[in-house]
Structure 1
């Protein structure tokens, strides 16, 4: 246990140091708020590591075969999970997941009493050092357990190292996206069965209450793709209209929240389908499916749909192609110019497709391509930047202003659609200006 306590004590000291000059949260400066928040993040992650190890010990001392000597029963609980849930104020399900994580990352002993390495030592080490939280570690461990028999221990060990390395600094949603792409890469034959499970859960319920219609839906990736593209396109068009033709300070300015605009988008789609008279802008909305031509021809591998996290099978892609038609696009072919230099100011549709292939959407926050614009890294007017892929990047409006207003720098490593995007924070955010990965490289397995 001492190996886990040392980082925990260091994290506590870090919180104390960052809080030392302030008397309560209300008195913290901006720099102190960031410092305390970062320190609390480290503290929470290291606490998770210790708690997972303790949970594994509680489960070991509360196993059923101990009968009345079970530690949980002696304390008045049915199981170790109930004991943990009661003492920490969490749910029994969360406590059970913590126990499972502790058992997967704790050191083991064989029948001779010899100490063995943890089942997932890389995850354990990252948790003990405060690099990943319990929720991310649990998602990784659950995934590795699921694919271990199919891919073998050596491949699973490589996946463990890669996932832990990339998961540090990602949100839980981004870790789940990373895991989904990794699973499709390691086990492409398993994509179709997982799709069948998702289709079986597809549903839409409707009921009226308090004078309003309530919708609750769940859609498989191929069914969600056109819905997402249309709604995002409508929302993007509304935001563009706000920017281009409306005064945000005016009394009649549209200040509706995103949820209301998305509701209007769904109504618009229904009205258009019923009458074909109520037309409105969808800001070029379309469904973009990404797949290797060789995989499509041979029926192997998998593909990705812009705006959805779950990879889809080749069979699904072929059905979508049959329904909507396929436009072949070869990045960099002689028939299409992708680098225009200073001869054009605006990025072409082909260039946007190439940038979407590289960035996957907003390269900074991950919004889908339909909600982004192609921007010059070195400005066209001020810096005489060319309209080339190496000088282009997809950003949503919010991130575009955030980057320029706060003096972030952008670096493109490599050329073409497999280039990697890096964001360099300004010195007042990070004095070392440590590059942060952007684009698809954050959550996907790309070269």
Structure 2
């Protein structure tokens, strides 16, 4: 064994003293105790790996009646066979290919996970490196392992030969990244379960890191504090019973991204571009009745959501009459043209709901006078709303109408404001020709 018993006893004694002092919960004592016990834990892990390597070499497991070293360690340590196998493999790698890493296992900053990164990198070194080169590379990786996080160490390991020169590292990293990209492409997958009893769908995916970074950037830009409309006063806008968690915000952001996917860019699906078809009836659109509809996947949809979806270019409404016959299939005049949307963006500057700062690209064009009730698809009757506030308009009693200056004004329900005083979005915009000039009085 490379670590003498007196070293182990010394660390245990020091840890015991710090633990006794930490009972008073003074921050300095707690920090000292944590440092001491982490040192003991590193030392115990290092000794455990040494013993695992020795057990494998001496066939101790079979002498103890176990089928393998892996099975023996799993039983004695109370861990899974999978974790035991990983520990045995790491112990063997440290003993055969990474002696410097093995010697450094009890140093601050080291851990079995970091050791696995180093041993994996050592196993992938170019064959033309001699023993001296390998020693230099391992020493560099061990130094980085003690200094950097495991995430940074993984990145550094892809350029493990950097100690031999930048050109070496560039070539090595290019080969590794190319192999990773091809492997990630083969392993990409996506799944969705059928809707549960609460009309929720669970799903998941495995993506190459570049595509995942693109998704992460979109989600984070949509949930950053500057663009976080979720933080508006709960009494005026919140549809939820409690403040949403960050994961809930990401879920809402993901839904917005899906809703804004260009429906005409994903091929033909049964003669129709990648479009959701929603079947409803005319009375529901006119608000004469509150009757659910059905989408092309058989999902039932509440009336308020149907009326909101009618404004969405990515949804094709099939409107039925009282006899169940089709009255209309997605009349194009229900949708605002690209030119009209540009004009609405110029006028509204983004979501027009009071206090919202969502940009035009994250909005939907809404008819202030419902389309099914004869609302016209023109600028005077249009308003841009983000998905959240579009939902609020359709579900919570808020109303929107053209104001005296033709800009949208929003009327809150009496439960929020008994006077129902109209509200406006106070988004700053540069003055235009014809705007009134306000002069400060000079004292």
In 2 relative to 1, CA 246–89 (structure 1 residues): closer, same or farther, beyond 3 Å?
A: same
Pairwise mapping of residues 201-216 of structure 1 onto structure 2 (< 5 A)?
Answer: 201-208=187-194, 209-211=196-198, 212-216=200-204
| Partner Cα separation in structure 1 for residue 359 and residue 132 of structure 2 | 47
User: Please, which of 82, 95, 106 is the counterpart of residue 71 of structure 2?
Assistant: 82
Structure-to-structure mapping, 1:25-424, within 5 angstroms: 27-62=24-59, 71-106=60-95, 119-149=97-127, 153-180=131-158, 182=160, 185=170, 187=172, 188-208=174-194, 209-211=196-198, 212-236=200-224, 239-241=225-227, 246=232, 255-273=243-261, 274=263, 275=313
Secondary structure class of the residue paired with 1:127 = coil
- Please tell me whether the aligned partners of residues 7 and 128 of structure 1 are also in contact (alpha carbons under 8 angstroms): no
Give distance in 2, aligned partners of 1:156 and 1:284.
Answer: 56
Aligned-partner Cα distance in 2 for 1:151–1:140: 16
How many Å apart are 1:219 and its aligned residue?
Answer: 0.6
- Give the drift of 1:227: 1.1
Structure 1 residue 17 displacement after superposition: 2.1
- Where structure 2 has 5 or more consecutive residues not aligned to the other structure, the ranges are 162-168, 264-312, 315-340, 352-356, 362-443
Measured after TM superposition, the shift of residue 41 of structure 1 is 1.6
Distance 1:202 1:193 in 2: 14
In structure 2, distance between residues paired with 1:56 and 1:249: 64
Shift of residue 146, structure 1, vs aligned partner:
2.3
How many aligned positions are there? 261
Q: Is the 8 A contact 1:97 1:138 kept in 2?
A: no
TM-score (normalised: structure 1): 0.51
Aligned 8 A contact 1:7 1:130 in 2 = no
Change over 3 Å in CA distance of 1:133–1:284 after alignment to 2: farther
- SS state at 1:204 partner: strand
Offset from partner CA, 1:243-276 (integer Å, 9 cap, x none)? 9975799996973211111111110011112547
Q: 1:438 aligns to what?
A: none
Give, in whole Å, the separation in 2 of the partners of 1:148 and 1:79.
33
- What SS does structure 2 have at the residue aligned with 1:270? helix
Cα deviation digits, residues 98-135 of structure 1 (max 9, x gap) = 222222333xxxxxxxxxxx632321221144541122
Measured after TM superposition, the shift of residue 87 of structure 1 is 0.8
